[in-house]
Structure 1
């Protein structure tokens, strides 16, 4: 495939969520509120986990890392999206689009892997409780977090460098509300089918495999939970795992539908709606699903509020 530097330098134009100008003010208000809710919820959760000694456990350490990722994740797309609602140009520079793509792929991959490690934590805690202090030591938890960031960054760097060295031709109009690999491929001059196989493989490794691991972990957890004699223990375990599985299903199903489908099956309208779910809705819901259904977190909140 022909490559060249002539694709660099020119700005891209983001179509946005809808193409109807009279909705821009309303959408700006809604998106700004969701952004504020996501930041407040995740900051509160990180703050509680840091301050309350009872939450200094592997499970809550991983949860605090998820909240940090979510804050960065939603901050990568929403501020530019909200600004474009009030702007007539709705442009993003070539470098800005490149940075946004790299950050989005890095944070999305990190969240996907971290959710898998969180399911492993619950599996060990419920199925192998005596081995939990060894298998989920502080060193192992830090290695998990470092591994998610490192592997996701390398994956994002490879995709970003490759895509932005392809020759973009004709219109620079991106039919999306942020720069994302599937939305940029239609602007490339030439056949991208071979590269789409690479995107598919990355989707399998970073999305499908962790999701299958989560389903397998919770299938085993469910078997163990049903054998418990304590009704309270059953209820607590099911509550914890069901909240995690709810978040995981929403995130993985939507991202898989975007990153593992052939380009010919993509629809800009559907892609934008699905992208709202995994780029905005998930970071908003995560802190509330984990906190409102968790007695330990709610207890920490009450203690901090006196």
Structure 2
């Protein structure tokens, strides 16, 4: 596979999985994907059909609905192709590879900024409750959503432009389970530090900054919550805080672990590394709606009402 023509028209995804575990892995991936589709569609449907979820906590529930939409897109972008690879359909056309890479980057960047915005919303609600209705309005939410998408798109398009400059003259084999910017740069013939420099900038903007902001915000929220005299008020505040931190942890910890282990010199097999990346990308979209369904009383009650109504149809 050293032909230049092939390297520029398609890529081969080398997703190593033990042949004895393939059938089991396909079954698990299929189940995870179906649960992800059902759970996130249900959350979006419940929020869209229930006007009470739009006030007075409008931004939080809009954020949950957007998160569910992002999870649907991200999971659909990766999981069906993973299943196809395990069925030995390992080739992916150049254009589809770039599209998958674009969506992977865009979904990750958007979700990271969205979680930071949701932390900001909770910060204002707890620390400045009397000013919440004037500071956080529908206009504010739409403006934040627009800015969030513009910033994410700008960085992702930069990555995409860089990839289109690459030439693949040695190999078209990616030691990865889906098309990823860094894996494409590694097999390219181009030797320019700018292609890796953008990774550092992207990691800082969409990785370190949002996590730092969330931790600082929630530390301040926890401090403010301790001053609340009402036991019920404290419980609700800490319940919201822990729910959001669970989602943030699911999104960040698996990815951080894979990078940290590699960074400190732990030698992971390709199969082990791929497994960690797969888990980081497909497990959070499945668990996010479950977390919100069980830990958010309003959503839980709304789902129960919807289920009850459907029984009479």
* TM-score when normalising by structure 2: 0.89
Aligned to 1:75: 76
Hey, what's the Cα distance between the residues in 2 that align with 1:107 and 1:243? 21
Cα deviations across residues 99-147 of structure 1 (Å, max 9, x unaligned)?
A: 1001111111000000000001111111111111121100111122222
Alignment of 1:1-306 (within 5 A): 9-16=8-15, 18-56=16-54, 57-87=58-88, 89-256=89-256, 268-306=270-308
**Helix, strand or coil for the counterpart of 2:191?**
coil
Hey, what's the Cα distance between the residues in 1 that align with 2:64 and 2:204? 24
Contact residue 73 and residue 107 of structure 2 kept, 8 A:
yes
Residues 257 and 153 of structure 1: is their aligned pair in 2 closer, same or farther, counting only changes over 3 Å? farther
**Helix, strand or coil for the counterpart of 1:92?**
strand
Contact residue 226 and residue 234 of structure 2 kept, 8 A:
yes
Deviation at 1:6, TM superposition (A): 6.5
Residues 175 and 51 of structure 1: is their aligned pair in 2 closer, same or farther, counting only changes over 3 Å? same
Hey, what's the Cα distance between the residues in 1 that align with 2:267 and 2:60? 37
Contact residue 162 and residue 195 of structure 2 kept, 8 A:
no
Contact residue 17 and residue 271 of structure 2 kept, 8 A:
no
Residues 127 and 294 of structure 1: is their aligned pair in 2 closer, same or farther, counting only changes over 3 Å? same
**Helix, strand or coil for the counterpart of 1:12?**
strand
Q: 120-129 vs 246-255, which deviates more? A: 246-255
In the alignment, structure 1 segments of 5+ residues that lack a partner are none
**Cα root mean square deviation, aligned:** 2.2
Residues 193 and 266 of structure 1: is their aligned pair in 2 closer, same or farther, counting only changes over 3 Å? farther
Deviation at 1:270, TM superposition (A): 4.7
Residues 96 and 195 of structure 1: is their aligned pair in 2 closer, same or farther, counting only changes over 3 Å? same
In the alignment, structure 2 segments of 5+ residues that lack a partner are 309-313
**Helix, strand or coil for the counterpart of 1:9?**
helix
Cα deviations across residues 56-99 of structure 1 (Å, max 9, x unaligned)?
A: 11110111011101100111111111112123x41111111111
Q: How many residues align?
A: 299
Contact residue 59 and residue 136 of structure 2 kept, 8 A:
yes
* TM-score when normalising by structure 1: 0.91
Deviation at 1:244, TM superposition (A): 0.7
**Helix, strand or coil for the counterpart of 1:202?**
helix
